[in-house]
Structure 1
């Protein structure tokens, strides 16, 4: 007796994981300039000197994290061959949705001996966590590089970026050397830091620019050769996925997703080869899924601000000024059982960041002495998608699980 899967005998995929976001390629393509900048920024580690602090900027999907992990692996391997280099440890934390205490506690628990009790979740403060962190760093010695992905999402970046770089000069550690690598999608993140933190960091900045269509084709061709069976894809699919992503924001992750979802469309249709037609059909699926993921990646209060503008947009009340948005935001936050932020400046900060991330259009108004100078905002997205996604997130549902009508 045949079952529901018995007729599935072929696939276009040889290794589908190659087209997944978590895949770390053995070779980084089309990022030679950024790798060279990274190489110079980290060279002091090879000679037993204090490492430079590095800040990496660029929008999502431009290879920031992939290049960083590639450089960390290469540096760890090279240090093993250098007599002058200290022992090197790399510690990586994604800061999205984490408080400063949780970040430091995570590092402490990574450094504690295997037989030690974990640092407690409650009862001790952030200062205690830093003190334990310094003790463990000096116990281990050597050079330590801290990689903070999405560092702009941490609640108290100023304290983190002041404490670690100055730990040695402030006498908290004697034997260990520390370096910090921050990765951010927010190009204006440095402006939010206090003057003393900026003076302390003295960091090397590396900016990742969008890929063009030719660069994306090179990346996709390399992935496709491993991802698909022989004859499982047409070159038109590579060109289409690269062109669509390049016209959008030059996002490698988006182009890879287009190719993968295009192949899934091909299989669903019973086709043995993915073509540009399948990629074109996949375009709306990928764009909608990415939009939902972008919304869920924002902090709670940023999402409330986004929902507030979406409600105003739905009701035909945009473009709207920040004071009007704040009033609606307060109602949104309370409707989800959260106390709203209380200052207009904090709302304006979220509006500015969401505008920078492409969620809003910002219109500058100058009405002279009578009306003054101000900004108005309107949504650059479909309000219905934003509101549906917000509701599904609050209800604990997977916002990407069901297709949009």
Structure 2
């Protein structure tokens, strides 16, 4: 039997990692204005002064994290050349799924001496964690920039954003200086903060707007020159990937994904170059993958509701009322070994949420005095994607429904 990998080649890609999410470019393109705002916000660090707080806003894939990494690297380098600058420490934490206690504990553990025991997970509270953090900051001294990515996902965020900026003025630290850099996908995040936190932060706000097709074309051309072997990627493919991403979300990550998957499609088809046709096929694959991720992110019962509507859709029984959805939902939940939600109101709440998230179409019906008003629902996506995703999550049991 021949080895299944014998005939695999990689003639198109020269450096595929350039098209991955983890790649950090040496030069940031099409974000000159944001970088200019950023550098002025951080200039106090170079002169040994307390740093300003900075908040970055913008949807995912608009360069907030990449620009921040670039700026932190450049700042570290410049601090080495500045006599007035204190020693600089940069702490990067992703806040998704974390509590304030978990974040402060993580900061403490990065600051503790190597031979010290980690700060305990249990038995002490958030106040204890802050006290230990202040002790360690003063022990080390210097300037500390704390970069909180996805800060809008943090529970009790007001506590963190009130405590840290006031640590020095409240006498908690005297030998160290602290600055906060928050990165949020939510443009309205600041509105959710308490008035006392807003007054305390006095931050510089930097908004990242979606890229247009020209800007995405510049970014993709740069990546393509590094990622693909010579003459293996058509300019038309780059233009199409840029245009499709600009029409959708203006998202660089999506545009880069289209280019990478387009290369994979070309390889699979035995082509020696990436064309705009390959990008078209890549779009379907990328959209499918994104939808699967969004479905997987929903709660178990929301997924059961989606799966129920997908079956009704396949049986051509949609648009459909919530009571009929509930009947199929109960079968789906039971088949998954879960106790179904017992009230129609709970199903209607899930339907309302799924509609707001764009998974469902909702139609208002009015049958007058006799029938009253009610809603009917149908999927706003391919039912096969829902069922495929549910199969991946639940396994063979989905086939039995």
**TM norm structure 2:** 0.81
Match of 1:193 in 2: 193
Query: Which stretch of structure 1 is more off in the superposition, 234-243 or 97-106?
Result: 97-106
Match of 2:263 in 1: 263
Q: Distance in 2 between matches of 1:167 and 1:207?
A: 27
SS at match of 2:93: strand
Match of 2:373 in 1: none
Pair 1:268–1:154, CA change in 2 (3 A): same
Is contact 1:312–1:318 with CA below 8 Å preserved after alignment? no
Match of 2:64 in 1: 64
1:131 aligns to 2:137 (yes or no): no
Match of 1:99 in 2: 99
List per-residue Cα deviations over 1:96-147 (Å, max 9, x = no partner): 1122221111111111111111112222222211111111111111110111
**CA drift at 1:62:** 0.6
Q: Distance in 2 between matches of 1:195 and 1:387?
A: 46
1:167 aligns to 2:167 (yes or no): yes
1:109 aligns to 2:95 (yes or no): no
**CA drift at 1:336:** 5.8
Is contact 2:58–2:187 with CA below 8 Å preserved after alignment? yes
Decide which structure has the larger Cα Rg and report it.
2
Pair 1:68–1:213, CA change in 2 (3 A): same
Pair 1:360–1:124, CA change in 2 (3 A): farther
Match of 2:245 in 1: 245
Match of 1:147 in 2: 147
SS at match of 1:222: helix
**CA drift at 1:246:** 0.6
SS at match of 2:186: coil
Aligned length: 370
Pair 1:61–1:3, CA change in 2 (3 A): same
SS at match of 1:39: helix
SS at match of 1:135: helix
Match of 2:206 in 1: 206
Query: Any unmatched runs of 5+ in structure 2?
Result: 313-317, 365-375, 397-401
Is contact 1:319–1:378 with CA below 8 Å preserved after alignment? no
Pair 1:389–1:8, CA change in 2 (3 A): closer
Query: Any unmatched runs of 5+ in structure 1?
Result: 365-375, 398-405
Match of 2:285 in 1: 285
Match of 1:118 in 2: 118
1:2-401 to structure 2, matched below 5 A, reads 3-296=3-296, 303=299, 307=303, 310=306, 355=356, 381-382=381-382, 385=385, 389=389, 392=392, 395=394
Q: Distance in 1 between matches of 2:77 and 2:340?
A: 48
RMSD in angstroms over aligned alpha carbons? 3.6
Pair 1:312–1:41, CA change in 2 (3 A): farther
SS at match of 1:246: helix
SS at match of 1:271: coil
Q: Distance in 1 between matches of 2:340 and 2:171?
A: 41
List per-residue Cα deviations over 1:353-377 (Å, max 9, x = no partner): x95x76678999xxxxxxxxxxx99
Q: Distance in 2 between matches of 1:199 and 1:391?
A: 50
**TM norm structure 1:** 0.80
Pair 1:359–1:168, CA change in 2 (3 A): farther
SS at match of 1:187: coil
**CA drift at 1:389:** 4.1
